[in-house]
Structure 1
Amino acid sequence: MTSPSPVLLDLSRVLSSMPHAIWRASEMAVYKTSVLASGFQNLDAELPNGGWPRSSLIELLVQQAGIGEMQLLQSSLAAIAKSQRIALIQPPHVPNGLTCQNWQLPAERLIWLKTKKAADALWGAEQILKNGSCGAVLLWQTNVRAEALRRLNLAAQTTDTYFFLMRPISAQRDTSPAPLRLTLRPAPAGINVEIIKRQGPHSEHIYFVHLPGMPASRHFNSHFNISEHHHAHVDLPAPAISATGSITSILV
C-alpha cells in the first residue's frame, strides 16, 4: 500500500487551514460581499449567504410584468430606501407614488429613468453602478446582448449597489454571467420561484412565495385589471415620454 505523495499531503494541509478558500459545486457558496435578506425565509434558505448579494448581477426572469416581482423585492428595497436612493430604469409601468409610500419607499429616495432607446437604459444603469450614487438599481430589458450583460456584471462588481435585472422568462435559455438567476411565475396568492442558477448545488425545486394582496383565485387575468386586484396600483401603462433628451429622469 503506497503512502500519499508529499504534494498531496501539502495540498491537504493547505486546504484544511483555509476551509473557505475552495468552493465545491455541491456546497452553497459564501459571498465575499454582504447580502440583504429577501424577507421570505423559504427563499433566503436557498440563496447563498441567505439573501440578495450586493455587488452582483441578479436576474429575475418574469413570465409577465406585474405578477409580483416588485412585491418580492419590497422588503429589501424598503431597507435600502432608509438611507439610499433607488433607481428604476425603463420600468414597464408607471410607479405609483401612493403605493411606493405605503411600501416605505419615499418619493425622495426614488429615481425613475425612462429612455427612448434600450442602449440608453443600459448606459444609464452602467453609469449609476459605476458611480455608486444609488443603493439599488432595477433595470427592465427585453433583449440584452451578451456583451452588454458582461459590462453590467463587471460594473456591478465595482460598486456596493444591489443590482436587479428584469428580463422575460424566455431569456432563461440564454447564457448569462449573472451568478444568480431566478424565474418568477404567477401563483394563487403569490408567485412560484425557481432558482435556475446559483453558486451552489443545482436546485430542482419550485418555491412558492406568499405575497400579501396578490389574488388567491386560480383564474388569473393576464392583464391584471386594476379594478380587481390590489397589487395593480403599480401596473398602470406607462405614458409616452415627450422629452427630447436621450434620457429623461423623473423623481417619483
Structure 2
Amino acid sequence: MNAQLDNLLRHPGVWRGDRLGITERPGQPTGYVGLDALLPGGGWPRGALTELICQEEGIGELSMLLPALAGISREDRWIALVAPPYIPYAPALAGAGVDLARLLVVRAGNTADTLWAMEETLRSGACGAVLAWPSLIDERSQRRLQLAAEAGDSTCIWFTPARQAANASFAALRIKVMPARDGTLVHIVKRRGGGPAPALVLDHALAGPPLPRPAPADIRPAA
C-alpha cells in the first residue's frame, strides 16, 4: 500500500501541500538567488500579477526590482511605469543596467486611466514588465489585468500602501515590503503553492545578474 501511495505521489499531476506550485511559464529571475528559490517558477511571475504591499514609499521597493528590469530590457522588451508617484531617477536606473531606451513612463490622470494603461501595455506583448501605482484595483479589474498579462506574457507588478491593502487579492504573488537597516525586509504572504515563507532581508548591494547562477548569499533570515 505504501509503494502504491509513493507511486501516486510521484505523478506530475499531483501537487503536495509542502511544495511550491507548478507554473507553466518560468519566472523572471529577481537577481536574488535565495528569493528565486522561494518563488514558484524561480522568479517574478510572468503572465500573472504581483502585488507589493509597502509600509511606506521609498524603502527599496523599486530597487529590489532593478536586476529583473535590467534583464528584461536586455531582452529587447519594453518596461512601462504607469502613474509613478515621482519622476524616475534615470541615472540610478542606468547604473543598475536598465536600458533607458526601453523605458516608458505613462502618466494617468485618474484610476480609470491608470487601469486602462496597465491593461493595454500588458496585452500588447511588447512590454516584458508593467509596474504601476494605482490608487485602487477592484476584483473585476484584477481579473482583466490577469487576462491581459497572460495574453502579453508580461510581468505585472503594482504597489499598494499597507494602509490600503485588502485582505484578499487576485494576485498570484503578494509580498509585504518594509524598511531594514541593511536593505529591504520582504515577507511573502501569498504564493502559488508552498507553505509560509520566512521574512528575508534583501541586500541590494549583493544582488547578482538577473540570471540563475551560483552567487554569494544575497539574503539572510530576518532577525
**TM bin (shorter chain):** 0.7 to 0.9
TM-score, normalising length from structure 1? 0.74
Q: Indicate if the aligned counterparts of 1:193 and 1:206 stay in contact, CA closer than 8 A.
A: yes
1:120 positional shift: 0.4
Which letter maps to 2:51?
E
Q: How far off its partner does 1:171 sit?
A: 4.3
Please list every run of 5 or more consecutive structure 1 residues that lacks an aligned counterpart in the other structure: 4-8, 214-252
Equivalent pair of 1:42/1:207 in contact (CA under 8 Å)? no
Partner of residue 185, structure 1: 178
Amino-acid identity (%): 33
* Equivalent in the alignment of 1:93: 86
2:144, 2:7 → 1: CA distance? 35
1:31 counterpart residue number = 23
Which residue does 1:52 correspond to in 2? 44
Determine the C-alpha separation between the residues in 1 that align with 2:135 and 2:17: 30
Q: Any conservation in 1 of the 2:19–2:195 contact (CA below 8 Å)?
A: no
RMSD: 2.2
1:170 positional shift: 3.2
Q: TM-score scaled by structure 2?
A: 0.83
Are the aligned partners of 1:55 and 1:161 in contact in 2 as well (CA < 8 Å)? yes
Q: Which amino acid aligns with 2:142?
A: L
Count, aligned residues:
203
Q: CA deviation at 1:19?
A: 2.2
Are 2:195 and 1:202 aligned? yes
Give the conservation status (yes or no) of the 8 Å contact 2:93–2:100. yes
Contact persistence 1:58–1:163 (CA under 8 A): yes
Q: Map Cα deviations across residues 69-127 of structure 1 (whole Å, 9 max, x no partner).
A: 11101101000001211000011110122222212222211000011111101011101
| One-letter identity of the residue aligned with 2:176 | T
1:75 aligns with 2:67: yes
Structure 1 runs, 4 residues or longer, greater than 3 Å off: 12-16, 170-173
Q: Distance in 2 between matches of 1:21 and 1:91?
A: 41
The residue type paired with residue 87 of structure 1 is A
**SS state at 2:196 partner:** coil
Cα distance in 2 between the residues matched to 1:204 and 1:33: 21
Equivalent in 124, 128, 143 of residue 131 of structure 1? 124
Cα deviation for residue 151 of structure 1 reads: 1.3
Task: Please point out which of 3, 12, 16 is paired with 1:20.
Answer: 12
**Which residue pairs with 2:145 in the alignment?**
152
Residue type at the aligned position of 2:177: L
- Cα separation, 2, equivalents of 1:144 and 1:103: 30
Query: 1 CA distance for matches of 2:164 and 2:7?
Result: 41
